[in-house]
Chain A
Amino acid sequence: MTAASPVISCKNVWKLFGANPEQYLKSLTGNPGFDEIRQAGYIAAVRDVSLDIAQGEMLVIMGLSGSGKSTFVRCLSRLIDITGGEVQVEGRNIGEMSEKELIDLRRNKMGMVFQSFGLLPHRTVLDNVAFPLEMRGQDRHARRARALEVIELVGLSGREDYFPRELSGGQQQRVGIARSLAIEPDIWFLDEPFSALDPLIRREMQDEFLRLQEMLGKTIVFITHDFDEALRLADRIAIMKDGVVEQCDTPDQIVLNPATEYVAKFTEEIEKSRVVHAGVLARDVNGHSLTGAPVGEKQTILELARLLVNDSRDFLPVANNAGSLIGAMNRQEALDVLLGEAS
């Protein structure tokens, strides 16, 4: 497997619920709509989704409730068997795996965090976190050592002997996160991990999550119905509606160039300047004479607002982290993002 090939690759994935979905799917021609399928007595949870997730990427799947995002992520780990199409994980079709291979895959490669935590109520924090290791058959001592390590990682040291019901929601989700990390998975699924938490705690957990991701660099599929959360965390966002991925792109592109009306509606209320980075607006230099200090490609337009307003240059040079020039940003275009198009 080369570095370029995707970790997870979905090709035309379908998931229908109903009496005899396989047969119905075969009889389908063209691309029927959600309502059409419902009239036939089936619920289309996932419709013809194809996407690739690269090594170390954080893909956020965004959609309102009932859009099929939770079902889709369960298709990726085969918690749900798909009706049609193919899901490949590291080049292997998981639909064709035997039960044993699937269990091996989950024991060594995958971790998952659930919205309502999914903790075992009769086990202590330590035993909950060590649970996947126990399933693998690791010995007691190794289990304990590793579990304590991840418990410290999520900041729950000293609470090892508590039972889930003795912890707050945020703490319980930390246990869920620790458990999913115990086996050092390469792929990390998070199904609305922070939705059940208070707004303040949610913010704190998001920061914590970003810290962990920076440290661990895993391939992540993150589900949320909160667009702000998606923008905050994502490398790429896939927006789902009625089982279809409406657009899958970087946050900047989604905000700047919404593919469909539905996506446009979502982005309407968003402060674009907080999302769009200088790097995205950088164009080929094309002979413009660039003067002065460059702006960093990772800086958002909002962060550059004062500069953009005060500066008199038409084009600003944009540099990457290493300091080398990657292009020029049209100041007017950037101001349009900041202030909205001049009408």
Chain B
Amino acid sequence: MTDQAIILTGKPQTWTRARTGWALFALACVLAAGNYVLPAGLVRPPEWLILPFADWINAIFVFLRDDLGLLYLTRAFADGVEWLLDVTANLLYGKNRWPRVGPIPWTVIASIGFVIGYALQGWRLSLLTGGTFVWIAVMGQWKWAMETLSVIVVAAPFSILFGLVMGILAWRSKTFERILNPVLNVAQSLPHFAYMIPVVVFIGVGPKAGAIVTIIFSVPPMIRMSLLGLRKVPHEVIESGHMCGSTRWQLLRYVRIPTARTEILVGVNQVIMQCLAMVVLASFIGMPGLGQKLLQLLQALKIGRSVEIGITIVLLAVMLDRCTKAWATKQPEHFEKGTSFAVRHKFLLLGIGLSLACLVLAQFFPLMDQVGRRDAFTISKPIDAVADWFIVLIDPVTQWLRWFLITWVLIPIRDAFLWMPYAAVLALLAAVGWAIGGLRSALVCLAFFGLIAISGWWDRAMITVYTVVVAVCIAAAMGFPLGIWGSFNEKRASVALLICDTLQTFPSFIYLIPVVMLFGVNDVAVVGAVVLFAAVPLVRYTIEGLRQVPETLIEAADMSGATRMQTLWKVRLPMALPTIMVGVNQSVMFSLFMVIIAAFIGTQDLGQEMQRALSSTDVGKGLVLGLAVAFMGLMVDHLVTTWARSKKEALGLE
């Protein structure tokens, strides 16, 4: 995290704090310089220092599973989920299970999609929702997409309910919230795979495991949003509820929850997006559907077909995001007195009518029922052709880039990271922590990385750190200028923000398609995918930060005769910096996630080990690795938020 240090140290606040920071930095330099004369115990954590965390965790899990009989409970729950999955599977793609009526013809689902989109926002959304289903059917991906959707349909309601209940509990009890908060912090920075391993141990592999890992993974944002919504209900609304003689339950049911509607629905939106991201990744634990297809095709380097699936996933993501957002912001409208039943319920009636019509037509025209493989369109050939042409065209560039990056950037930096004695790294982090937040932050940094050191995965962790550092630096080099350019006029900014928001709804897996296409399967592709993924929040927050600078300040600068560049450097950027740092923070988080996911295209870092832990269902190892990643993220998060808070206070923004 060295360049984090460069970005973050900034202007030290007090002389003494800075001096301690520099002293620690000097210590780090001395330790690094003395690499060859240092005792071995300071270069790499010695054997005796490494604690068998994995064994301890495994012991706990064995105890939970066998002695406490938690296995029966989870299996029972999983059976319930499986039953629901079978029902939706039968309805959506005709799996041979109760109620054995499916599959529903695709035209029926598409027409319902049209109507829901129209009811929520109008024609454009209607075209998106309906069009997505038409595309899926026509491209012959119906079964895979429905396998994916059937899991979301089951998992999302569980997460929403569970998250809402937890949110209410946290809102009721301060103690519960205090316990829950750090748990959520860790949970939200654990990489996807860390969730999968325990689920495989307790439940096994297949769709139900996929559904359960999806439920667990998507709960945290729902808890956060419910809590936030309940907190934000205006005081007077609650008092008016009291004065109307509500009991506690009535107050919650009729006053607090409905008034917190918007936040709760934003939570629902996040749950659904997380569900989609996870369902796609759950292909690693045998979840059939779009994710599995994409994984197979990518590994076989079938670019055209994987682009097709990629488009489907992207369409689903954008559709689900837009629909739930439209639902969250939709305000109730009243009907004039005497409006007839038909007009009041026109969307319901329209939906039923269209569905029935499609159902009947499907009996006569088999193509309206299901589109078989033979009848499906494919655009993979032209895509392959274009991709091939393009790859050949830019091959010299990519070849050179690959060679240059690997030999002159990636390998030297990686070696440098691996060469550093761990004591020097710890001293350096302590220096950064001290410069930013004094003793407390220094201790936080030491604690997080100290734990990684004694977990015994130091070298792997350093490779992860190096990939993230390189990727975030490249992303920043691209993202900041792009963000600054994007913020210069209002129209450009809103278009750029819309693109960024849309890109952020894509499941991380999607970002692998173009880089694998361009660079094949190697280190450069990994870094490329991480850079793409990490650049989005940087651009987004740079634009947002620059746009939020108060108009009066810019006018004042203009009236002082500042040129555009002067205004940018002296006024806009300093004011926007706290917001931009939020982007840096998110970018680091995203990179960590992406590095781990990218493991399957060949890395040597924690992610690779995590995949091994997954295939050997080693819970202890998997969780230790996951926590190591989470600790990196939490440390950066701590540093950035501490810095941004003090900066904001200094600027008088809060």
Selected contact of B236 from candidates A110, A114, A162, A179, CB within 8 Å: A114
Q: Are A158 and B337 in contact (CB under 8 A)?
A: yes
A189 to B240 Cα, complex, angstroms: 11
Residue interface mask A166-209, B partner, CB < 8 A = 1: 10000000001001100100000100000000000000000000
Residue pair B332, A162 in contact (C-beta under 8 Å) = no
Identify A79's interface contact among B243, B250, B258, B333, CB under 8 A.
B243
If A114-B239, A119-B237, A135-B250 touch, whether A104 touches B245 (CB-CB below 8 Å) is yes
- Which parts of A111-150 form the interface with B (CB within 8 Å)? 111-112, 114-124, 131-132, 134-136
Give the B interface residue count (CB, 8 A). Answer: 24
Interface residues on A, range: 35 or more
Q: Is the CB of B334 within 8 A of A77?
A: no
Q: How many contacts A-B (CB < 8 Å)?
A: 83
Tell whether, in the assembled complex, residue B332 and residue A110 are in contact, meaning their CB atoms are under 8 Å apart: no
Q: Residue of A at shortest CB range from B250? A: A135
Which residues of A have CB within 8 Å of B236? Answer: 114-118
Does A210 sit at the interface, judged by CB under 8 A?
A: no
Neighbouring A residues of B334 by C-beta, 8 Å = 124, 161-163, 166
Q: Which residue, B239, B333, B335, has most C-beta atoms of chain A within 10 A? A: B239
CB <8 Å contact, B254 and A131:
yes
Say yes or no: A135 contacts B244, CB within 8 Å: yes
* A79-B331 in contact given A136-B245, A158-B337 (Cβ < 8 Å): no
Chain A, range 76-108, C-beta contacts under 8 Å to B: 77, 79, 99, 103-104, 106-108
A165 at the interface (CB under 8 A from B): yes
**B259 contact from A114, A120, A183, Cβ within 8 A:** A120
- Binary contact track B235-271/A, C-beta < 8 Å → 1, others 0: 0110110111111001000110011010000000000
CA distance A189 to B239 in the complex (A): 12
In the complex, are the beta carbons of A118 and B261 less than 8 A apart?
Answer: no
The reply to whether B331 and A106 contact each other, CB–CB distance below 8 Å, is no
CA A116 to CA B237, docked complex, whole Å: 9
Whole-angstrom CA separation of A131 from B241 in the bound complex: 9
**Do A118 and B239 contact each other (CB < 8 Å), given the known contacts A103-B245, A103-B247, A166-B334?**
yes
Query: With a CB–CB cut-off of 8 A, which chain A residues contact B247?
Result: 99, 103, 135
Residues of chain A within 8 A (CB-CB) of B337 are 158, 160-161
* Chain A CB within 10 A, most for which of B239, B242, B243, B332: B243
Whether A161 and B335, one on each chain, are in contact in the complex, defined by CB atoms closer than 8 angstroms, is yes
Q: Binary interface profile of B, 325-342, with partner A (CB < 8 Å = 1, else 0)?
A: 000000111111100000
Contact residues of B between 300 and 349, Cβ < 8 Å to A: 331-337
Closest A residue to B337 by CB, please name it: A161
Measured between beta carbons, the chain B residues less than 8 angstroms from A110 are: 243
CB neighbours of A77 from chain B (8 A): 243
Q: Are B243 and A111 in contact (CB under 8 A)?
A: yes
Contact B246–A135 (Cβ < 8 Å): yes
CA distance A107 to B242 in the complex (A): 9
Contacts of A106 in B (CB 8 A): 242-245
In the complex, chain A residues whose CB is within 8 Å of the CB of B602: none
CB distance from B257 to the nearest CB of A (A): 10
The answer to whether B239 and A122 touch across the interface, beta carbons within 8 angstroms, is no
With a cutoff of 8 Å between Cβ atoms, the chain A residues found around residue B122 in the complex are none
Is the beta-carbon distance between A132 and B331 smaller than 8 angstroms?
no
Q: Is the CB of B234 closer than 8 A to any CB of chain A? A: yes
Q: Mark B156-197, 1 if CB is under 8 A from A, else 0.
A: 000000000000000000000000000000000000000000
Tell me the nearest residue of chain A to B245, going by C-beta.
Answer: A107
Q: Smallest CB–CB gap between B337 and chain A, Å?
A: 7
Question: In the bound complex, what is the Cα–Cα distance between A78 and B254 (angstroms)?
Answer: 21
Bound CA span A201–B519, Å: 70
Q: Contacts A122-B258, A124-B334, A161-B335; is A132 near B237 (CB within 8 Å)?
A: no
Quote the shortest CB–CB distance from B149 to chain A (angstroms): 29
Instruction: Please measure, in the bound complex, the distance between the C-alpha atom of A77 and the C-alpha atom of B242, giving whole angstroms.
Output: 10
Do B332 and A180 touch (CB < 8 A)?
Answer: no
Q: Are A122 and B332 in contact (CB under 8 A)?
A: yes
Closest beta carbon of chain A to B333's beta carbon, Å: 8
Q: Which chain B residues (344-372) contact chain A, with CB distance < 8 Å?
A: none
Residues of A within 8 A of B (CB): 74, 77, 79, 99, 103-104, 106-108, 110-112, 114-124, 131-132, 134-136, 158, 160-163, 165-166, 176, 179-180, 183, 189
A-B contact list, 6 entries, CB within 8 Å: A79-B239, A99-B247, A108-B245, A162-B334, A163-B331, A179-B244
